[in-house]
Chains A and B, each alone.
Chain A
Amino acid sequence: QVQLQESGPGLVKPSETLSLTCIVSGGSVTSGAYYWSWIRQPPGKGLEWIGYIYYSGSTNYNPSLKSRVTISADTSKNQFSLKLSSVTAADTAVYYCARESWRRLDYWGQGTLVTVSS
């Protein structure tokens, strides 16, 4: 059974960089044909896809966030990470990591709330 768990600071100051890590167990970030994704949900709003890193290491980002987002993987630790720079209050959200398989997100982390505030 694949399990994902987000970790990182719950509070980030405006203009700083949000950094989260997703630890994967029961599966490998280098195993074939999976996209390791980040999704967020601002309070009271819907879901927004942030981007993914493919098992091959290639990445793809939501165009609206592309200039601020970096997703990377540490295969030795079987985890992948999100960095979102120059954050504002609008980046306050529950952040989820998830695995995309055959066009659907089949495994999700529990989510972590990140608040942007001074």
Chain B
Amino acid sequence: EIVLTQSPATLSLSPGERATLSCRASQSVRSYLAWYQHKPGQPPRVLIYDASTRATGIPARFSGSGSGTDFTLTISSLEPEDFAVYYCQQRSDWLTFGGGTKVEIK
């Protein structure tokens, strides 16, 4: 099983600030990593796939980088609707998710 470790668990920021979320894999997942945004009462929404490709309709303030074992999701300037939980997911092996990072309003 490939374990994904996300950090930090919680990120307290203000609107307009930059958010940097990390996801580390227990072994290489090549570039087969996706990021999701999850809000209460809604299904998760894919933001980024293949480490750095924005999904359809995702604003340019969301960007992903990394390969192998270390990945980053960056939100360049937080909008009010961006406060949510973010998960990374790998598909190099059978699918696993990270534990999530909660981005909360400071």
Residues of A within 8 A of B (CB): 37, 46-49, 52, 60, 62-63, 96, 98, 100, 102-106, 108-111
The residue that A105 contacts in the complex, of B42, B44, B94, with Cβ under 8 A, is B44
By beta carbon, the residue of chain B nearest A50 is: B95
Q: Which residues of the other chain, A, contact B94 by a CB distance below 8 angstroms?
A: 49, 60, 62-63
By beta carbon, the residue of chain A nearest B4 is: A46
Establish whether residues A106 and B55, one from each chain, have CB atoms under 8 Å apart when the complex forms: yes
Q: Which residues of the other chain, A, contact B95 by a CB distance below 8 angstroms?
A: 37, 49, 52, 100
Establish whether residues A103 and B87, one from each chain, have CB atoms under 8 Å apart when the complex forms: no
Smallest distance from the beta carbon of A85 to chain B beta carbons, Å? 20
The residue that A46 contacts in the complex, of B1, B45, B55, B87, with Cβ under 8 A, is B87
Given the known A-B contacts A62-B94, A105-B44, are A47 and B55 also in contact in the complex, defined by CB atoms under 8 Å?
A: no
Establish whether residues A105 and B87, one from each chain, have CB atoms under 8 Å apart when the complex forms: no
Establish whether residues B99 and A46, one from each chain, have CB atoms under 8 Å apart when the complex forms: yes
Q: Which residues of the other chain, B, contact A60 by a CB distance below 8 angstroms?
A: 94
Establish whether residues B97 and A46, one from each chain, have CB atoms under 8 Å apart when the complex forms: yes
Q: How far does the alpha carbon of A103 sit from the alpha carbon of B46 in the complex, in Å?
A: 11
Given the known A-B contacts A100-B95, A106-B55, are A47 and B46 also in contact in the complex, defined by CB atoms under 8 Å?
A: no
Is the CB of B96 closer than 8 A to any CB of chain A?
yes
